[in-house]
């Protein structure tokens, strides 16, 4: 099948027949033809592609085939898709120059954990909320304000967190920050002397942030019941930082007896538990797990963020503090950045009070569940953990399986990326169990099945159907 793309004002010949003799499908043929046209300059950087429906009609293909081809080329970096402005050709030559200078190229199939589907950001609803919020904002909203954050947002958060997460929140005890890391480092500045206990395995960047703030980091072991406080000393540790709802990266839920033990330790040691409510809103095969803070607001600092529910670029997070910590945290924030930007706070407040936030979370939950289900089907027979909630799961590697480093190299050759359990241990050199941390938030819906297929092919070639030959 060949076609001249003259209908759309671009004299471009697409040959979809080359390679068919070797079994190439029509979607792969379309991807190859567009890819070659971009590489050879017949489609210049910045050129706008026709809508999927229009191109499908012109070529006699299904719209789904064209959409999938577009999504794949977006994932590979050949195309750029922006909401409201269509799909355009990326500057591939510039990307290749960057690659020659050593800049990393994005993977074609991205299953790395920790990032939501930013392509599903609710642009139209956010714009409506922004217009309403700014239209109703008093002049004082554009001046220096309360270091804790805009009162509109703190009131909206108190209502939402109490209703949806079981948090004991009063607006006066909420401090808005520019992301979770700022909240964590502010706490590292103001809590009494002592180390910070962080989950092992856990996110390495959080350990780095705490150390950069001047605190010693000690490991808090995690097993099948969550973080184990049994080894925490009665003194010398100022805070234990945990992810009770869906531990990162193992995905386990902190069990009730561990929750009680952590609170008892904090009270006896005059310390605090820092609850990172990671993935708290996303659950699939279980009832919601309420926030730990709701059971002990005097001993738990609750930290939530818009980075996973909306997008990291929103740069808004919030702490619900015990009363004694409000003034010290406010002072530290005042001397750090004085206050978090106000316009985004006003928009998020409107987003919450109009229930647009709830609607977006429910839609995201359904989307991530579909992706998780696709992963579960493709990975049947493998050891999977943390599948009941969140935006990632852990695939345990069986004894005798190839090393994580080998799997990473083989994956990179396929244009596939994911996380490994090994990179999350406090001491990576120690002999520990190994596994792959698979995120299902990053790819767009159209690109996700191809990423799962590539992962399944890799595991089949390297491990087999969950076992080792």
Provide the residue range defining the domain that includes 13.
2-102
Pairing, β 2-4 against β 86-89? unpaired
**Average per-residue pLDDT in the chain?**
89
User: DSSP string of 397-453?
Assistant: PPTTPPPHHHHHHHHHHTTEEEEESGGGSSSTTS----EEEEE-SSS-TTTHHHHHH
Q: Is the pLDDT of residue 7 over 50?
A: no
How high is the pLDDT of residue 469? 40
What is the pLDDT, as a whole number, of residue 148?
97
DSSP state of 317: E
Work out the number of other CB atoms within 10 angstroms of the CB of residue 213. Answer: 15
Band (pLDDT 50/70/90 cuts) for residue 468 is: very low
Report the candidate in 160, 130, 117 with the shortest Cα–Cα distance to residue 310. Answer: 117
- Asked if 11 and 159 sit in the same domain, the reply is no
**Is the model's pLDDT at 452 over the cut of 80?**
yes
Give percent above pLDDT 70 in the chain.
91
pLDDT greater than 50 at residue 14: yes
Rounded distance, CA 428 to CA 69, Å?
Answer: 39
Q: Is residue 250 part of a domain?
A: yes
Q: Transcribe 226-237 into DSSP letters.
A: EE-GGG--SSSE
Domain's final residue, options 316, 337, 355: 355
Predicted confidence at residue 39, as pLDDT, reads 85
Place of tokens 């595991």: 459
Same domain as 175, residue 79: no
Domain boundary among 333, 355, 377: 355
Per-residue tokens: 290? 């309420």
Are 252 and 221 in the same domain?
yes
Confidence of residue 97 (pLDDT cuts 50, 70, 90): low
Give dist(CA 10, CA 394) in Å, integer: 47
β-partners of residue 198 are 219, 241
Looking at the structure, do residues 329 and 378 belong to the same domain, yes or no? no
Dihedral angle sign, alpha carbons of residues 394, 395, 401, 402 = negative
Q: Are residue 348 and residue 403 in the same domain, yes or no?
A: no
Q: Judge whether 86 and 124 are in contact, CB under 8 Å.
A: no
Residue of 101 and 449 predicted with greater confidence: 449
Question: Does residue 110 lie within any of the structural domains?
Answer: no
- Band (pLDDT 50/70/90 cuts) for residue 23 is low
Name the domain boundary from 73, 102, 131.
102
Confidence band (pLDDT; 50, 70, 90) for 3? low
My answer on whether 153 and 50 are in the same domain is: no
Contact, 446 vs 376, CB < 8 A?
A: no
For residue 363, pLDDT over 70 is answered with yes
- pLDDT value, residue 178: 96
User: Residue 315 pLDDT > 60, yes or no?
Assistant: yes
CA pair distance 340, 317, nearest whole angstrom = 10
My answer on whether omega of the bond before 201 falls inside 30° of 0, hence cis, is: yes
Tell me, what's the pLDDT at 18? 62
Q: Is residue 468 part of a domain?
A: no
CA gap 251, 129 in Å, rounded: 34
Q: Calculate mean pLDDT across residues 182-211.
A: 97
pLDDT for the residue 146: 96
Q: Is the pLDDT of residue 17 over 80?
A: no
> Which among 352, 343, 262 has a CA at the least distance from the CA of 310?
352
Same domain, 213 and 320: yes
Instruction: Looking at the structure, tell me whether residues 243 and 316 fall in a common domain.
Output: yes
The CB density around residue 140, as the number of other CB atoms within 10 Å, is 11
Q: Classify residue 252: in a domain, yes or no.
A: yes
| Number of domains making up the chain | 3
216 in the same domain as 197: yes
Q: Give the residue among 178, 172, 248 at the shortest CA–CA distance from 207.
A: 248
Q: What burial letters (b/e) apply to 392-413, b meaning 16+ CB within 10 Å? A: bbbbbbeeebbebeebbeebee
Same domain for 70 and 139, yes or no, is: no
112: in domain: no
What's this model's pTM, rounded to 2 decimal places? 0.79
163 and 211 fall within a common domain:
yes
- Residue with the bigger pLDDT between 68 and 358: it is 358
- Span 102-158, pLDDT tens digits: 555 688 899 999 889 998 999 999 999 999 999 999 999 999 999 999 999 999 999
> Residue 357: which pLDDT band, with cuts at 50, 70 and 90?
very high
Residue 241: closest CA among 201, 272, 208, 269: 272
Q: Is residue 114 part of a domain?
A: no
Contact call for residues 325 and 184 (beta carbons, < 8 A): no
Q: How far apart are the first and last CA of the chain?
A: 43
Percent of the residues in the chain that have a pLDDT greater than 90, as a whole number? 68
Q: What is the CATH classification number for the domain harbouring 47?
A: 1.10.10.10
**pLDDT of res. 180:** 96
Q: Which is it for strands 383-385 and 392-396: parallel, antiparallel or unpaired?
A: antiparallel
- Which CATH number fits the domain that encloses residue 449? 3.90.1150.10
Q: What is the mean pLDDT of residues 205-224?
A: 96
Asked if 319 and 118 count as a contact pair (C-beta separation under 8 A), the reply is: no
pLDDT at 431: 66
Q: How many CB atoms lie within 10 A of CB 207?
A: 20
Q: What is the CATH number of the domain that holds 188?
A: 3.40.640.10
pLDDT for the residue numbered 6: 46
Q: Are residues 189 and 319 in the same domain?
A: yes
Place of tokens 């705490």: 210
The reply to whether 467 falls in a domain is no
342 in any annotated domain? yes
């Amino acid at each position: 099948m060949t076609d001249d793309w003259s209908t759309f004002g671009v004299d471009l010949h697409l040959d979809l027949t080359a390679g068919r003799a070797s079994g190439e499908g029509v979607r792969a043929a379309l991807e190859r033809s567009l890819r070659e046209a971009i590489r050879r300059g017949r489609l210049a950087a910045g050129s706008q592609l026709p809508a999927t429906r229009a191109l499908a009609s012109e070529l006699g293909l299904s719209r789904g085939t064209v959409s999938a081809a577009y999504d794949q080329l977006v994932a590979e970096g050949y195309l750029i898709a922006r909401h409201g402005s269509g799909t355009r050709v990326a500057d591939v030559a510039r990307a290749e120059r960057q690659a020659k200078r050593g800049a990393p190229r994005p993977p074609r199939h991205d299953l790395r954990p920790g990032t939501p589907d930013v392509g599903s950001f609710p642009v139209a609803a956010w714009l409506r909320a922004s217009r309403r919020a700014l239209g109703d904002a008093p002049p004082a909203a554009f001046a220096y304000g309360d270091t804790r954050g805009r009162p509109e947002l703190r009131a909206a958060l108190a209502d939402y967190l109490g209703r949806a997460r079981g948090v004991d929140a009063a607006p006066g005890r909420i401090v808005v920050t520019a992301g979770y890391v700022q909240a964590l480092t502010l706490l590292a500045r103001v809590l009494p002397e002592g180390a910070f206990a962080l989950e092992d395995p856990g996110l390495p960047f959080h350990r780095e942030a705490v150390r950069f703030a001047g605190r010693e980091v000690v490991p808090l072991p995690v097993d099948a019941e969550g973080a184990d406080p049994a080894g925490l000393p009665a003194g010398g540790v100022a805070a234990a930082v945990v992810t009770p709802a869906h531990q990162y990266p193992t995905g386990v839920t902190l069990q009730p007896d561990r929750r009680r033990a952590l609170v008892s330790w904090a009270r006896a040691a005059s310390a605090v538990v820092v609850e990172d409510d990671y993935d708290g809103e996303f659950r699939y095969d279980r009832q919601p797990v309420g926030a730990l803070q709701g059971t002990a607001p005097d001993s738990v600092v609750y930290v939530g963020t818009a980075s996973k529910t909306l997008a990291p670029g929103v740069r808004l997070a919030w702490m619900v503090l015990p009363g004694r910590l409000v003034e010290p945290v406010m002072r530290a924030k005042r001397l750090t950045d004085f206050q978090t930007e106000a316009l985004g706070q006003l928009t998020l407040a409107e987003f919450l009070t109009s229930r647009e936030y709830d609607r977006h979370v429910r839609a995201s939950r359904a989307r991530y569940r579909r992706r998780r289900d696709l992963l579960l089907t493709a990975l049947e027979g493998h050891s999977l953990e943390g599948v009941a909630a969140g935006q990632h799961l852990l695939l345990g590697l069986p004894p005798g399986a190839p090393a994580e480093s080998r799997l990473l190299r083989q994956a990179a050759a396929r244009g596939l990326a994911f996380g490994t359990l090994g990179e999350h241990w406090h001491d990576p050199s120690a002999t520990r169990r190994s596994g792959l941390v698979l995120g299902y938030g990053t790819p767009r819906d159209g690109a996700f099945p191809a990423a799962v297929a590539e992962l399944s092919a890799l595991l089949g070639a390297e491990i087999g159907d969950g076992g080792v030959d």
